[in-house]
Structure 1
């Protein structure tokens, strides 16, 4: 099993940085997600999670630190989280950390809470200090 790494870009459309580690199951998705084909993009990630477990992976830790995502990306992210819910319900450890900037961005926090409610898997809400380069 190989890592899945996708460099984030900010061209016409914005894609997040993706780093899924096969050796550890520690994964991250960060940046902005404004994609032309969000379902294709996130399907690769969901498939990697499924294949990782099929090939003997026992746990997945996913750090989500998205500063912006559009509605179609939101739906694709939700589908990816549902795949993780299925993996969790099959007896594997799945930890999802949803990072949101402080102090004033309640919108990203609320989106994380909505994802948790809609997909039915626990998500850790973690506040972080927004850096000048991230705003």
Structure 2
């Protein structure tokens, strides 16, 4: 994700170089924001696809990052409509958080995390990998 972030930052810099807004004419501003938003949406899709199920999987099972990202990517490709709606809901929640000076995120982020965990448990069959944590057995005394 750090590498994607660095490439994203470089792409944003290139957009600013190739589409400078020296004069604030409507067509210049619309072109700048249109290209910038399109490139940003592409990077958002990459980050979402790589991390939607990989982070819960890495926490739940003894897997490496590459396995988590590949599993997450396969799950996204198999469930495109549902995960597109899920990505839009995350965007709406972040917008609500922004509009409320981030106060709504106190409630929304735990709800999104809880829902992501349950989506992971429903979509990914992780029984192949060993659990990261096991509960201790009850004493039979």
Scaled by the length of structure 1, the TM-score of the pair is: 0.29
Hey, which of these two has a bigger chunk of strand by percent?
A: 1
Larger radius of gyration: 2
Higher fraction of helix? 2
Q: Report which structure shows greater RCO (CA 8 Å, sep ≥6).
A: 2
TM-score (norm 2): 0.28
